[in-house]
Amino acid sequence: MTHITSNGAPDPARPVTVIGAGISGLACARALRASGTPVRVLDRGRRVGGRMATRTVGGRPVDIGAAYLTAPDDDGFADIVGGWTERGLAREWTDTFAVATASGVSGTTTGPMRYAAPAGLRSLVADLAAGLEVVSDRVVSAVAPGSVDGASVADVVLAMPAPQARRLLPDDSPFAPVLDARAFEPVIAVVLCWDERRWAADLHGAFVDGDPDVSFIADDGDRRGDGAAVLVVHTTAERARRHLAAPDGAIAPAVAATRRILGIDRDPDAVFAHRWTFARPADNGDEPYLWHDGIGVCGDAWGGPTAVRTAWSSGDALGRAIGAGAATPGR
């Protein structure tokens, strides 16, 4: 549990350690800080963001991880997104996507408003990190109650995909059966760049059903608002599994499928592929987080359908519970 000094206050020398600087970990850290609980965030990457990743391609940001945000009115995440929108960090993108099969676009579907970020979704995670102690390039190898890599700590939060969290815990961890059962699917994101747009102006994005290679296509120029002729294609999990060792192998099938589905008349001028071994949970638990003996697990596999808002809500709920001394053992 969080170490308390003799006067009843949290000990700043022993902050809660959050491992993972994606949106769930930073939501947890912000909730802890709001409660007056000292917190430190460790991340193995050079920059915050996790799977809300943005890569600079051709001098502009391209989202290669999560494709968008949604923020239902009855969700606490709506206030966060509203603040980002008011400050120009996020923007309303679209509520309509194309629906496609392997043979082409067949119609459209309307759903909730999707939000994007002019500077890329990673910029929103960076905004959450402002004012927090974040240690980058910090690889963690082992976590046990009260210990990170053998060093004594207070509570520990693992804000990461379940398979990665499982690797850090001992074999006898009570979380082991739960984490082992939480499967994740891979995706390879393929960025395709042309000299000019060669697809319908109102594409926005497309859900693709029944194609062996492609599951989603995002018009990144439309998403970003600058009109750039850039598409980001998410492969199917099966196609990704074939190329995890060498993700560039997914480029040719993704290009062929995208050209066929959207009727594009030639290959792109530039391409880039990024591997996500643990892109999204195959199923989700009903509980908003896991907690036992001073260790918590949070992320998009807990408490709702796979979405950015689920990751934020999971981390926020766990941070609030720890800060209030109300994290429930066994959850």
Q: What is the pLDDT of residues 131-156, one digit of tens each?
A: 999 999 999 999 999 999 999 898 99
Whether residue 243 sits in one domain with residue 202: yes
Q: What is d(CA 331, CA 328) in angstroms, rounded to the nearest whole number?
A: 6
Q: For residue 61, tell me if it sits in a domain.
A: no
Predicted confidence (pLDDT) at residue 21 exceeds the cutoff of 60: yes
Whether residue 268 sits in one domain with residue 138: no
Whether residue 90 sits in one domain with residue 19: no
Q: Which residue has the higher pLDDT, 74 or 34?
A: 34
Q: For residue 152, tell me if it sits in a domain.
A: yes
Strands of the sheet containing 16-19, edge to edge, are 134-135, 39-42, 16-19, 156-159, 295-298, 290-292
The CATH number assigned to the domain holding 220 equals 3.90.660.10
Whether residue 157 sits in one domain with residue 16: yes
CA neighbours closer than 13 Å in the CB half-sphere of residue 79: 6
Q: What is d(CA 32, CA 26) in angstroms, rounded to the nearest whole number?
A: 10
- Tell me the longest C-alpha to C-alpha distance in the chain: 72
- Six token digits for residue 289: 């987080």
CB atoms within 10 A of CB 313: 23
Sign of the Cα pseudo-torsion (62, 64, 65, 68, in order): positive
Q: Which residues contact 59 (CB under 8 A, 6 or more apart)?
A: none
What pLDDT, on a 0 to 100 scale, did the predictor assign at position 298?
Answer: 98
Task: Kindly write down the DSSP assignment for every residue of 170-182, as one continuous string.
Answer: -TT-TTHHHHHH-
Q: For residue 138, tell me if it sits in a domain.
A: yes
Whether residue 143 sits in one domain with residue 100: no
Q: For residue 227, tell me if it sits in a domain.
A: yes
pLDDT band, very low/low/confident/very high, at 326 (cuts 50, 70, 90): low
Average pLDDT score over residue span 92-106: 97
Q: For residue 62, tell me if it sits in a domain.
A: no
Helix (H, G, I), strand (E, B) or coil at 287: coil
Whether residue 274 sits in one domain with residue 165: no
Q: Which residue has the higher pLDDT, 4 or 25?
A: 25
Whether residue 277 sits in one domain with residue 236: yes
Whether residue 188 sits in one domain with residue 177: no
Q: Which domain holds residue 244?
A: 67-118+184-282
Q: What is d(CA 77, CA 64) in angstroms, rounded to the nearest whole number?
A: 22
Q: Which of 41, 285, 312 is nearest to 157 (CA)?
A: 41
| CB 318, CB 295: distance < 8 Å | no
Predicted confidence (pLDDT) at residue 124 exceeds the cutoff of 50: yes
pTM exceeds 0.85, yes or no? yes
The CATH number assigned to the domain holding 27 equals 3.50.50.60
Q: What is d(CA 211, CA 292) in angstroms, rounded to the nearest whole number?
A: 42
Q: For residue 166, tell me if it sits in a domain.
A: yes
Average pLDDT score over residue span 108-131: 97
Q: What is d(CA 20, CA 149) in angstroms, rounded to the nearest whole number?
A: 15
What pLDDT, on a 0 to 100 scale, did the predictor assign at position 73?
Answer: 82
End-to-end, the C-alpha distance of the chain in Å comes to 15
Q: For residue 254, tell me if it sits in a domain.
A: yes
pLDDT digits (tens, 9 = 90+) for 153-197: 989 999 999 999 999 999 999 999 999 999 999 999 999 999 999
| Total number of domains constituting the chain | 2
Average pLDDT score over residue span 1-26: 69
- Six token digits for residue 15: 């902050």
Whether residue 51 sits in one domain with residue 192: no
- Six token digits for residue 156: 């520990």
pLDDT digits (tens, 9 = 90+) for 210-259: 999 999 999 999 999 999 999 999 999 999 999 999 999 999 999 999 99
Name the average pLDDT for the chain: 93
Average pLDDT score over residue span 64-72: 96
Whether residue 196 sits in one domain with residue 76: yes
Whether residue 140 sits in one domain with residue 198: no
Phi first, then psi: what are they for 237, rounded to 5°? -65, -40
What pLDDT, on a 0 to 100 scale, did the predictor assign at position 330?
Answer: 42
CB atoms within 10 A of CB 263: 11
What pLDDT, on a 0 to 100 scale, did the predictor assign at position 285?
Answer: 83
Whether residue 34 sits in one domain with residue 171: yes
- pLDDT over 70, % of the chain: 94
β-strands 134-135, 214-219 pairing: unpaired
